[in-house]
Structure 1
Amino acid sequence: MLLTPFLVGAKVEEGSIEGSRRVYSHDSRNAFPQRASGSKALSLRLRERMKSSKVEDIIEQRLDALKDSLGETWSDRGEFEAFFARFKTSIKLDSGQSRLLPTPSVKARAKIILNSKSSGATTALYTFRAFRQAFVKRGLTGLDSELKHAFIGFVTDSRSTEQLLNKQVKVSDLRHPIEWYPATRARRRTIHLHVGPTNSGKTYHALQRLEQAKTGLYAGPLRLLAHEVYTRMNAKGKPCNLITGEEKRIIEGEKNPMISCTVEMTPLHKDLDVAVIDEIQMIGSWDRGWAWTQALLGVQAREVHLCGEERVVPLIRHLTSLMGESLEIHRYARLNPLTVESMSLKGGLHSLKKGDCVVVFSRAGIHAMKKKIESTTGKRCAVVYGSLPPETRAQQARLFNDPDSGYDILVASDAIGMGLNLSIKRIIFETTRKIAGGCDFENLTTSEIKQIAGRAGRYRTASDDTRDTISAASSRGGEVPSQAGSSVSSRPSIGSVTTLEDIDLRVVRKAMGSEADPIPSAGIFAPVAVTRQFVSYFPPNTPFSFVLRRLHEISRVNSLFHLCELDDQLTIADLIEPIKGLSVTDRVVICRAPVDRTADGFPEMVQALAKCIARRKGGALLEIKEIPLELLNRPVVAEKAYLASLETLHKGLSLYLWLSYRFEGVFPSRPLAFQYKGMVENNIDKILSGMYYEPNIRPTGTRKELEEVIKKVRTEYRGAEKQGTHPEAEIPMLLGNEGTQNFMENMS
């Protein structure tokens, strides 16, 4: 079938040209116009493929596969056959009618489920449209998951009484999250909202107020920021604890120390004078927004200082009004000028200067750009991207900031948008699009462009303040002078922003002159107590992922809030479903662990750790073979595969540490995990310092260079074919997934 090979693999790999298109020159882009058409064109191609194919046939095939897999575990085969026949009929009846039906609103979902029992159909919750969308977004894996969820829901609803369904609807009423924190509502708080662009001093002024308080906390989005404030407070003689998901540093003997934490770890039971919640605009995130909402609604502080972007102001006004609390808004202007340059780099790299930062949106693209810059200009590059350990990112930032290190240029992802102290003079966007959803592209938002561009030029940061404070204390035998860090530096640096190509410069210029859209709602998750109660309304063997999705589907939510996405939680829930002995609370905790679903070995690591929790033993680090500690026995070599393996090992050790603080009796090897984690970080630093990246085959530069690469690939492919092997994994995606298929078909 024509559609299957395209959509099953409808995922742009990091090493593909679609993922790093701007290394091409303008000429080469014209040579491949389908690449320059962007996410809209790719979406159109997807739609055309779907129109020309019989998706019903694919659904029919996957239903047969689902029947075979589920039928083996069903005790009453006759009952199963009857259920499945009715289920297939309902889908067939629905498929012809639901193509134009919108997805039902949250308010309508409860009625849909109640009506489904009497109608005997899957109704609009499980429409052909939903199956089709799952197939487009996630291929056969997504379709299989959607079909399984629909069938389980069909059976569950058919067996449930109306009274039980009403209980599910009642407990899933999440319209009033303000009331989830009665102790906080019982006290008077003043909310201070500090808003302004990057490098406006908003967080600096909030931290100044925190330093004056007797008790307080800082809650930030990243471990790096929490560690920075922790260091700053202790250097100034203010005892401060560090609390993140993976690490706790507690000062013994202090009655009321300050707290610096990641926002997910914000303590809601402590009586505080001042709380600072940084990057409050992330309250609107569909992934982590719940943590900012929880911190804002629940922290028990007399003064709550929120730092963020102007676009969050309307939402905070509404929330403070709901809470009956006073709001004071402090607005800040950027402390130094930021200009958009009149010209792009015209696709060339020769004009790069010391202090430049080139922003690229894929890991492979970052390493390829590093190699290209170093070979073109002779200047060394530091690199920063999300899958690097935070400690390594900080080390790379230090190398870039040090004028004597020899690292003149930074190549980075949007990870530079927050959390790192960087002496960037100019930001250069390689592209203004990034991969979204695995098989499509999306334009950067106005807010994202401004956040990244704002890193160019800088005033004094909290990190500068910390460093100078430590230096002053050291020079005076531990005495901190009163003026240390008390004022903002009077030496501004002018920042500038441009792009690699002209087409993107227009986008950046428009964004820099526009206001970002207001944030419409705050993210929430159902409290653990609600989830536990909801689970009790289902048969014991109901898959936990189904319960989570059902709760998400029928929950009623105030228009000021939205339910955060469940993708990671559902993946983990399915992985640990077969493991016996896990309580509902265990499953909720494990599902909320910070994981990277794309990392190699991720399923095995999660399952191994979950089995330890179920058994309440066996959690010694050296006994868990799924965490590949043997990598540390290998010689450190500057190879991309070894670097990726170390990054995965670091994620595994971080997950072990995260779980060790929640299941302390199960995972006793925390000190050893910290030791190995440090070794991994050191090895990654060594690799990055010595790596001259050599991707398998990655066309760059002019059309002529492209033709040479294609010739080389064709020769290698034919040679392998004669030997009876096809090195398909080594062939570049010259035109994305569709182009790769056509390219390989034309090899002969």
Structure 2
Amino acid sequence: MRPPSLLSYCQCRHTLLKPSSEPWITLVNLSFRRHRSGGNSKNNKWSNKSEERWRLTNKSEERWRLTNNSEERWRRPTNNSEERWRRPTNNSEERWRRPTNNPEERWKRPTNNSEERWRPTNPRTPFPNARRPSPLVYDIPKIDPNNIPAFFEVHVKQWSRQRSLPSRLLSFGIQKDEIKPLLDAFVHAVTAGELSTSEGHHTYVLSRFTHHLDDGDPLHAIDAIYTTILYTWASETAHSERLRSAGISQSTINRIRALAEAGDRLFPAEEFPDARKFHRKIIMHVGPTNSGKTHNALRALAAAATGVYAGPLRLLAHEIWERLNLETDTAPDVATASRPTNPKYVRPCNMRTGEEQRIVDEYAPLTSCTVEMLGLRKEYDVAVIDEIQMLNDPDRGGAWTIAVLGVCAKEVHLCGEETAVPVVEALLRDTGDEIIINRYQRLSPLYVQEESLNGDWSRVKKGDCVVTFARSNIFKVKSAIEAQTPLRCAVVYGRLPPEIRSEQAALFNDPNSGYDVLIGSDAIGMGLNLKIRRVIFEATSKYHGTRDAPLSISQTKQIAGRAGRYGLHGNDQPGGYVTALLPDDISHIQKAVDAIPTPLKTARIGISSTSFFAFSLALPPNSSTKTILSAYYYISRIPAILRQQKINLKYVEPLCNFIDARMANMPARDTIMFLLAPIPLRDVAALEVVQKFLRAYQDEMSVDLWEHLEGSSLVAALDGVERLHAEDNTESVTSVMIAQLESLHRAVMIYMWMTFRRPMAWHCVKEVAVLKLRLEKALDWGLRALTKLQPGKDWERYVKDHREKAKGAVIYTRQRSALEKYLDLAQAESVAAPIDGASATEPCRH
């Protein structure tokens, strides 16, 4: 029996249950609590028929026991004087009750249903003082870096017994009757110490055990590491005879070898032979925000005969493209809109993003692009890769890793945080490249104000930027500020097209525009040049699909650092200020600003079209797209400094199912193209349109734009906004209309994304460009029209709620209310759906 500290419990109605053992969860140095939904699951092996069941109370030494005596339902086995439950009378209608001296009544008689005797007011548990079921909770394993083999050998048997492993190996092509012999042979070899030699430590990359357990899911990481080692070991010729003697067929051994070869990426730099021909000079510009690091890199780019800029956002690529075509640069990090241009510094520059290309000159020497669109075969004199710390980003970090390893440039400038220096040095250790590190200090001071706004929007001033993390909140805050102050607000957030975001930023930067306050999402933290005097955090947590999570120190620093940009405030006192709407958030901001950056441990690497194609050939015929992605994650052998880019199979599964169902015969190259496309899987309205496009591509190899847009409610919304614009009817504009225009814009950008890759099939190039311009014009006018709206009851309730929380009336926890969830579905006209997770990056990924 497990020790009490590792026991977990749950209840089903009145029956108390005890879980059976699950060896994989009882890792040494790990503490887990797992609960399951009920006793009807076929996988649930918890006994419902035991004559005696136990329930652990809040005191680990005390337990309640159910006896077989029908007259004595519950009894206290100890002599504790406190009696939690008792049998009060012989009255059959009153089975149980709380002690009368407790004012809180937890039990009630709900109905006359004989099957439902009693139930709690809180339906989660009938026991108010009992430990409640909770999701999986674990501690990150503490593995001694100097004694990794001990952990590896001790836990291999537990790993081999986990329930999900056989089904996974079966999907990878191992016969059902061969799974157990294969695992037994592997376990025997590991426990005998055959893989723990100095040579084995390098061959099987055992150091991954100490590097890959800090992303919130250590069990998943350990599972992947063990699976990779299994395939690497079983693919070696020296072990073939042992496997055959254990009953493993030669065909299975051949499949294991093919999969291991497909996943061999131990030396990723060798995947870019063109870049290895160069002796590159890598110049790192590292420091905090507002330190001039990007400015120095851009000066080198502007002076180069040929060069490329690669950034994280379409908006940044657009901004650099605009600056280079208007003038070079005369002051560090000064927004283009804030100063005149000088024709003598003009350098022709083209722009390439996943959804758009702007060709100024076919032979332009400079290019501005997003990182995913960086050409790795073209040679440059200078390349600038911005926000280099994003190579550790779980969702997009692979693009930065590929850019660092594969860009063909004589001089490569990497701009970003100092935390990325160790990882970059490790990545380039075997390439022969020269690395120079330039460190910068902030050009103007940053102050964290001791006092918050105390929930009062009337205290917002000219030059303030309010940062919030849901689109619904952006318009709520905008309306509240404009109702309580004479100020007008511009808005910047991830779902807006880059042209509209640029125009909104220009309005805020222009002191004579009448737009004195900026309301933005975390999009403002990614290098936008804005005349922000003070940053106000509406909250310091962000919704991530299922829960609110606090902002990381890096995110908080980056957003806060946008205050007081050097050179943007003229003769005013230099420096920027940071505060929060509510007092409770000040401490988090102060801690983040004062924190010493923690160096990154790993970079990310994503799946390539070559790897995808290799796995599709090595796996059994007709394997699903999801199986191919799973095999890549579990089998690929990578160095310890790298980690697999996060593949959210739950998020990608609808697209995988659609591809398998509708595009079963599609070539692997097209499959990986669709998987990498920025398809808006969380935008239901846009996804419906995109699915029509994809069906037409599969069935006819020709996608007519208007054929699949006619009759759409999104097009009707565009027509409606254009009609209101013609009538100058600003009062009828709603944020739901704006959300519909944004959804249509995302679908249109997917079509444009495809025109650059399959122009013969996605042939409506002129039509999609015209529609894009119509949408951007309607969005621009619609956002301006919303500024004139007066706040309704929802806004007043929002402001009142914030004020009550600021006064300490309730504990402030940012949870989505039922109203917000209702509005997220665009069923009301007051707000629209929240920004997608990673909203500042997702619209511009490729």
Give the equivalent residue in structure 2 for 1:678.
773
Give the equivalent residue in structure 1 for 2:213.
none
> Per-residue displacement from partner, 1:323-375 (whole Å, max 9, x unpaired)?
22111011111111111112111222222110111111111111111111111
* Secondary structure of residue in 2 paired with 1:57: coil
Question: Quick one: structure 1 residues 99 and 350, their matched pair in 2 at CA, closer, same or farther if it must change by over 3 Å?
Answer: closer
For residue 584 of structure 1, what is the amino acid of its counterpart? Answer: A
Taking the aligned partners of 1:159 and 1:375, their CA distance within structure 2 comes to 75
> Per-residue displacement from partner, 1:628-663 (whole Å, max 9, x unpaired)?
434322234421221111110000011100011111
Pairing 1:283–2:391 present:
yes
> Per-residue displacement from partner, 1:201-223 (whole Å, max 9, x unpaired)?
11110011112211111111112
Q: TM-score, normalised by structure 1?
A: 0.70
Give the equivalent residue in structure 1 for 2:54.
none
Offset of residue 166 of structure 1: 2.7
Give the equivalent residue in structure 2 for 1:324.
432
Taking the aligned partners of 2:362 and 2:782, their CA distance within structure 1 comes to 41
Taking the aligned partners of 2:800 and 2:11, their CA distance within structure 1 comes to 33
> Per-residue displacement from partner, 1:399-442 (whole Å, max 9, x unpaired)?
21222222221111111002422111000111111112x22121
Give the equivalent residue in structure 2 for 1:591.
675
Correspondences of 1:591-610 after superposition (within 5 Å): 591-610=675-694
Question: Quick one: structure 1 residues 583 and 616, their matched pair in 2 at CA, closer, same or farther if it must change by over 3 Å?
Answer: farther
Taking the aligned partners of 1:3 and 1:706, their CA distance within structure 2 comes to 37
Could you tell me whether the CA contact under 8 Å between 2:535 and 2:562 is conserved in 1? yes
> Per-residue displacement from partner, 1:702-733 (whole Å, max 9, x unpaired)?
479989xxxxxxxxxxxxxxxxxxx9977999
Give the equivalent residue in structure 2 for 1:247.
356
Q: TM-score, normalised by structure 2?
A: 0.63
* Secondary structure of residue in 2 paired with 1:242: strand
> Per-residue displacement from partner, 1:293-331 (whole Å, max 9, x unpaired)?
111111111100000011111111212223221110111
Give the equivalent residue in structure 2 for 1:455.
562
Question: Quick one: structure 1 residues 502 and 283, their matched pair in 2 at CA, closer, same or farther if it must change by over 3 Å?
Answer: same
Could you tell me whether the CA contact under 8 Å between 1:700 and 1:706 is conserved in 2? no
Give the equivalent residue in structure 2 for 1:572.
655
1:548 corresponds, among 629, 639, 652, to 629
Question: Quick one: structure 1 residues 55 and 701, their matched pair in 2 at CA, closer, same or farther if it must change by over 3 Å?
Answer: farther
Q: Is the helix fraction higher in 1 or 2? A: 1
1:643 corresponds, among 721, 729, 738, to 738
Offset of residue 160 of structure 1: 7.4
2:602 corresponds, among 508, 521, 526, to 521
Taking the aligned partners of 2:468 and 2:615, their CA distance within structure 1 comes to 43
Instruction: State the structure with bigger RCO (CA 8 A, min sep 6), 1 or 2.
Output: 1
Give the equivalent residue in structure 1 for 2:706.
622
Taking the aligned partners of 2:605 and 2:406, their CA distance within structure 1 comes to 12
1:57 corresponds, among 32, 41, 48, to 41
Could you tell me whether the CA contact under 8 Å between 1:548 and 1:570 is conserved in 2? no
Question: Quick one: structure 1 residues 421 and 583, their matched pair in 2 at CA, closer, same or farther if it must change by over 3 Å?
Answer: same
Could you tell me whether the CA contact under 8 Å between 2:371 and 2:403 is conserved in 1? yes
Give the equivalent residue in structure 2 for 1:220.
311
Q: RMSD of aligned C-alpha atoms?
A: 3.7
Taking the aligned partners of 2:399 and 2:661, their CA distance within structure 1 comes to 29
Pairing 1:174–2:234 present:
no
For residue 591 of structure 2, what is the amino acid of its counterpart? Answer: K
Taking the aligned partners of 1:158 and 1:640, their CA distance within structure 2 comes to 63
Give the equivalent residue in structure 2 for 1:40.
none
Pairing 1:183–2:274 present:
yes
For residue 552 of structure 2, what is the amino acid of its counterpart? Answer: T
Percent of counterpart pairs with the same letter? 37
Offset of residue 161 of structure 1: 2.3
2:717 corresponds, among 625, 631, 646, to 631
* Secondary structure of residue in 1 paired with 2:369: strand
Taking the aligned partners of 1:640 and 1:299, their CA distance within structure 2 comes to 42
Pairing 1:209–2:300 present:
yes
Correspondences of 1:145-156 after superposition (within 5 Å): none
1:654 corresponds, among 735, 749, 753, to 749
Pairing 1:378–2:486 present:
yes
Taking the aligned partners of 2:802 and 2:790, their CA distance within structure 1 comes to 22
Could you tell me whether the CA contact under 8 Å between 2:500 and 2:779 is conserved in 1? yes
Question: Quick one: structure 1 residues 424 and 182, their matched pair in 2 at CA, closer, same or farther if it must change by over 3 Å?
Answer: same
Give the equivalent residue in structure 2 for 1:399.
507
Give the equivalent residue in structure 2 for 1:497.
578
Question: Quick one: structure 1 residues 261 and 460, their matched pair in 2 at CA, closer, same or farther if it must change by over 3 Å?
Answer: farther
* Secondary structure of residue in 1 paired with 2:516: strand
* Secondary structure of residue in 1 paired with 2:718: helix
Q: Which range moved further: 405-414 or 627-636?
A: 627-636
Taking the aligned partners of 1:640 and 1:60, their CA distance within structure 2 comes to 47
Pairing 1:238–2:350 present:
no
Could you tell me whether the CA contact under 8 Å between 1:458 and 1:492 is conserved in 2? no
For residue 521 of structure 1, what is the amino acid of its counterpart? Answer: T
Offset of residue 540 of structure 1: 3.5
Unaligned runs of 5+ in 1: 5-46, 62-97, 125-136, 138-156, 465-488, 708-726, 734-748
Q: Which range moved further: 165-174 or 623-632?
A: 623-632
Taking the aligned partners of 1:377 and 1:582, their CA distance within structure 2 comes to 57
Give the equivalent residue in structure 2 for 1:532.
613
Pairing 1:428–2:536 present:
yes
* Secondary structure of residue in 1 paired with 2:542: strand
For residue 318 of structure 2, what is the amino acid of its counterpart? Answer: H
Question: Quick one: structure 1 residues 702 and 52, their matched pair in 2 at CA, closer, same or farther if it must change by over 3 Å?
Answer: farther
Taking the aligned partners of 1:666 and 1:117, their CA distance within structure 2 comes to 47
Taking the aligned partners of 2:473 and 2:391, their CA distance within structure 1 comes to 30
- The number of equivalent residue pairs is 575
Offset of residue 616 of structure 1: 5.2
Taking the aligned partners of 1:361 and 1:695, their CA distance within structure 2 comes to 21
Question: Quick one: structure 1 residues 167 and 682, their matched pair in 2 at CA, closer, same or farther if it must change by over 3 Å?
Answer: same
Offset of residue 539 of structure 1: 3.7
1:304 corresponds, among 407, 412, 415, to 412
Offset of residue 606 of structure 1: 3.2
Offset of residue 595 of structure 1: 2.5
Larger radius of gyration: 2
Could you tell me whether the CA contact under 8 Å between 1:246 and 1:655 is conserved in 2? yes
Offset of residue 525 of structure 1: 1.4
Question: Quick one: structure 1 residues 3 and 592, their matched pair in 2 at CA, closer, same or farther if it must change by over 3 Å?
Answer: farther
Give the equivalent residue in structure 2 for 1:560.
641
2:495 corresponds, among 379, 384, 387, to 387
Q: Which range moved further: 390-399 or 266-275?
A: 390-399
Could you tell me whether the CA contact under 8 Å between 2:312 and 2:386 is conserved in 1? yes
* Secondary structure of residue in 1 paired with 2:451: coil
Could you tell me whether the CA contact under 8 Å between 1:195 and 1:307 is conserved in 2? yes
Could you tell me whether the CA contact under 8 Å between 2:468 and 2:538 is conserved in 1? yes
Question: Quick one: structure 1 residues 407 and 732, their matched pair in 2 at CA, closer, same or farther if it must change by over 3 Å?
Answer: closer
Give the equivalent residue in structure 2 for 1:165.
256
> Per-residue displacement from partner, 1:658-689 (whole Å, max 9, x unpaired)?
01111110011122212111111111122211
* Secondary structure of residue in 1 paired with 2:562: coil
Could you tell me whether the CA contact under 8 Å between 1:242 and 1:261 is conserved in 2? yes
* Secondary structure of residue in 2 paired with 1:218: strand
* Secondary structure of residue in 2 paired with 1:607: helix
Taking the aligned partners of 2:590 and 2:573, their CA distance within structure 1 comes to 23
* Secondary structure of residue in 1 paired with 2:325: helix
* Secondary structure of residue in 1 paired with 2:574: coil
For residue 323 of structure 1, what is the amino acid of its counterpart? Answer: T
Question: Quick one: structure 1 residues 178 and 387, their matched pair in 2 at CA, closer, same or farther if it must change by over 3 Å?
Answer: same
Could you tell me whether the CA contact under 8 Å between 2:604 and 2:645 is conserved in 1? yes
Could you tell me whether the CA contact under 8 Å between 1:424 and 1:457 is conserved in 2? yes
Could you tell me whether the CA contact under 8 Å between 1:619 and 1:667 is conserved in 2? yes
